[in-house]
Amino acid sequence: CPENYKAGDVVQQQEGCGIIRCYEDLAEFVGCGSSYVEHDRTSCYISYNTELNYPDCCTPNVVCAGDEGFDETQLA
């Protein structure tokens, strides 16, 4: 496992959204699966709160024009 973690440790990844599970002779990287959220792509986009720990950081959020934090550059 990275950074001298040992078997049995579960470590939150520093970047992105996921965890590392440490075993005796391997490390398992676990991240978000895929998802689809219906939304109006002309005025909304999907965002993820990567400040949250796994698995909460995997939850997609639909952000639309007029919502707090809306960033027009994120529109497809």
Q: Dihedral sign for Cα 36, 37, 40, 44, please.
A: negative
Q: What is the pLDDT of residues 2-42, one digit of tens each?
A: 788 999 999 999 888 999 999 999 999 999 999 999 999 99
pLDDT, position 3: 80
Taking CA atoms, 32 is separated from 9, 15, 25, in Å, by 19, 13, 24
pTM across the whole model? 0.77
Q: What is the pLDDT of residues 35-66, one digit of tens each?
A: 999 999 999 999 999 999 999 999 999 999 99
Give domain status of residue 48, yes or no: yes
Q: Give the domain extent around 21.
A: 2-67
- Rounded CA separation 61/57 (Å): 10
pLDDT, position 14: 85
Give how many domains the chain has, as a whole number. 1
Give domain status of residue 51, yes or no: yes
pLDDT, position 33: 94
Q: Which 8-state DSSP code applies to residue 37?
A: -
